[in-house]
Amino acid sequence: MTGSRIGAIIRKDLTEFSRNRFFVFITLLVIVAYVAVFWFLPDSVDETVHIGVSNSVLNTDVGGVTESGTAGFALEMYSSEEELKTAVEEGQNDIVAGIAFPPDFLESAAAGETPTVRLLVPAGLPAEIQLLLEGAVSEIAFGFAGLPPPVDPITEAVVLGVDRAGSQISLQQQMRPLILILVLMVETFALSSLVAIEVQQRTAVAVLATPVRVVDFLAAKGIFGVGLAFSEVVLLGLLIGAFAVNAPAVLVILLLGAVLVTGFGMIAGSYGRDFMGTLLVSMLFMIPLMIPAFGALFPGSSPTWVKALPTYGLVQAIIRVTVDGDSWSQIAPSLLLLAMWGVAAFFTGAFILRRRVATL
Amino acid sequence: MADNGWVTTSSNPAAALAIDVAGVRFAYGDTVAVDDVSFSLPPGEILGFLGPNGAGKSTTIKMLTGQLRPGAGTIEILGMDMPGQREEIQARLGVCFEEKNLYLSMTGRENLVFFSKLFDVRDFEPEPLMERVGLSARLDDRVSEYSKGMRQRLMMARALINTPDVLLLDEPTDGLDPVSAIGIRDLIRNEAARGAAVLLTTHDMHEADALSDRVAFINQGTILTIDTPDNLKLEYGRRSVRIRTRQGDGVHEQVIPLDESGTEDRIRDAVSAEGLMTIHTEEATLEDIFVEFAGRGLAG
């Protein structure tokens, strides 16, 4: 009988959800918009740095620089410095900077003089990139002058961790966990709104005046919340190709993620006094929960405290499976962390909602 | 049984008690909402809880529904302990709340069917119930489209889904037009005639008078007295005759108490005088008696 009552509450919640135009609109919008954004993003990374070079006298003498092109630089030749400036300012041909050689560059170099070469960079170019380019100018200049660099050591690169040279993570791949988590977050708000409505309109009181136990009521909310978030994120995952690698692991990760956000949905719903209040409380949870996903867009940029956020394990697990192709054993630590946060959030949410309902 | 020192009379004292409340107390923090409240209610009787807002009526109902756990005292409903046997009791309770806590995005039918599943009512058909509350034509309309009075009637229908043995009605005619209110009162009487014990709270003395077999005056969390409306009026009310006569260009009005010496002579004189316009007998209302007990009115 408990099962049939829980089932009745879940079906009722589903009816309410499907009749709420806002929830339905947001849900459909999120799926359509995120899928569109995902497939519009570049699915590969151009690892070549395009640099513009001016000086017509050098046009026929680029043989020495071609090797540099294979090492990550591609030179675009311009006939004048003015033309090069325009190209740099407008970002023509993807060039990130320009090198303007003086007209007497070759003669000065041959005479052992030190000619001035101008590096043209667009405003806003990071200082680190500018320094890197200044170093590259010398190498390119030696190449044009047909001279060997003063010191030419053999550099042996040792990559610690996954060597991404030649197979960089595309923006599309980087965005995948963020999109999945954004969808889970939206469903946090949907669930919290449904819970808040039940609390505000005191329909929970009417339900609990029947033989329904509080634990049945909470179980129904939990199952509905997890089911809603999981089904939507799985649908989105299918549309953005999240199950191409180790689909069972991705499913488990998303299920645990749905449990996690359902817990936060119940907390937000318990404290929301009206629509705006619920939205505000939901946002208070959503913003910090999304930080690890944003951090994944810029690897190495996240401070240590991000690891303490509940969604860190979720993001790491998704990335390691979908991007790195890690096995179950390799993602176990992230999965365990996610499971711990999921269980903690779910039971905390249920506890707070129980207290809220008891005081109605 | 004794209720706060007052003798309780019952229309059917031999029947087993549907509700038996003894020495119940509840406080919201430091504020005592209900203090040492005792009363009992046999099946088939309607007991009206009459008191102003904040008197402790709704808190008492919440303890009976199991929403609140009493700080002291005992509550037995249908011979079972509340909250110890909460689910068994709730299966036989019908509750009409003061707030219209219905699912607005669902239709009247969907609301009733949903609650019938929570009560595990087999083969539930909402039509007869909606017919009884005059809403059969709006069965498949969303509750958000219902008027306030229609919502109140749907609340009553919901309270009857499980054919309850005990009905707890918190301001059941609140917001209803006079015609609808009469319909709901008939419904309540029919439920009592079927054998359901009915506890209704109200601050409307007319409602309490019209419906209740007994009324309990409650004020500041304490029951002041419990008795039938007639007994209360006889015991505590003042009967009088109001006589209006024309005198010259004006109208003279006098109120003659019926319970004083010389009443007959005064009435005879007034009636035999020229210019008699109207004679009305008057009896105390429940509100008058409530004021005597509580030192305040029922409003507010």
Q: Does position A11 have pLDDT exceeding 70, yes or no?
A: yes
Is residue A74 within 8 Å of A51, Cβ to Cβ? yes
Say which range, A9-18, B133-142, B274-283, has the weakest mean pLDDT: B274-283
**Which residue in A4, A15, A360 is closest to B117 by CB distance?**
A4
Q: Using CB atoms and an 8 Å cut-off, which of residues 132-151 of chain B contact chain A? A: 142
ipTM tops the 0.85 cut: no
pLDDT at B5 over 60: no
**H or E stretch at A96:** strand A95-100
Residue A165: pLDDT band (50, 70, 90) is low
Rounded average pLDDT over B207-230: 89
Q: B120 — contact with chain A (CB < 8 Å)?
A: yes
Mean pLDDT (chain A, rounded): 83
- Strand B197-202: give its sheet, edge to edge: B93-96, B166-170, B197-202, B46-50, B214-219, B222-227
Q: Among A123-132, A200-209, A336-345, B278-287, which range has the highest average pLDDT?
A: A336-345
**What integer pLDDT is reported at residue B54 of this predicted model?**
81
**Is B220 strand, coil or helix?**
coil
Closest by CA to A55, choosing from A76, A23, A80, is A80
The 10s digit of each residue's pLDDT in A207-224 is 999 999 889 999 999 999
| Model confidence pLDDT, tens digit, residues B23-68 | 999 998 888 999 999 999 999 999 999 888 888 888 898 899 988 8
pLDDT given at position B298: 57
8 A C-beta contact, residue B6 and residue B37 = no
Q: Which residue of A has its CA nearest to B59?
A: A360
In the three-class reduction of DSSP (H, G, I as helix; E, B as strand; rest coil), residue A198 is classed as helix
CA B205 to chain centre: 9
Residue B7 pLDDT > 60: no
The per-residue pLDDT for B103 is 95
pTM as predicted: 0.77
Q: Which of B114, B175, B107, B160 is nearest to B138 (CA)?
A: B107
The DSSP symbol for A72 reads T
Q: For residue B169, give Cα distances in angstroms to A74, B36, B50, B98.
A: 83, 21, 12, 8
CA distance A187 to chain B (A): 20
> How many residues in total does chain B contain?
300
Mean pLDDT of chain B: 86
Contacts of A208 in chain B (CB under 8 A): 66-67
Checking if the pLDDT of B3 tops 50, the result is no
Residue B240 is given by DSSP the state E
Task: Give the mean pLDDT of B92-117.
Answer: 94
Percent of chain A with pLDDT over 70: 88
Q: Chain B contact for A126, CB < 8 A? A: no
Q: Tell whether A15 is within 8 A of chain B (Cβ).
A: yes
Write down the pLDDT at residue A186. Answer: 82
CA distance B202 to B204: 5
Write b or e for each residue in A324-341: b if 16 or more Cβ atoms lie within 10 A of its Cβ, otherwise e: eebeeeebeebbebbbeb
| Span B147-161, pLDDT tens digits | 988 999 999 999 999
| Integer angstrom CA distances of residue A295 from A45, A177, A342, B78 | 19, 11, 20, 61
Give me the pLDDT at residue A68, please.
Answer: 46
Q: Which of A246-260, A324-338, B266-280 has the lowest mean pLDDT?
A: B266-280
Contact B199, B61 (CB under 8 A): yes
How many Å separate Cα A300 from the centre of its chain?
13
Is residue A188 within 8 A of residue A230, CB to CB? The reply is no
Residues B208-232 have a mean pLDDT of 89
pLDDT band at residue A153, thresholds of 50, 70 and 90? low
CA distance B291 to A217: 44
A2 part of contact set with chain B, CB < 8 Å = no
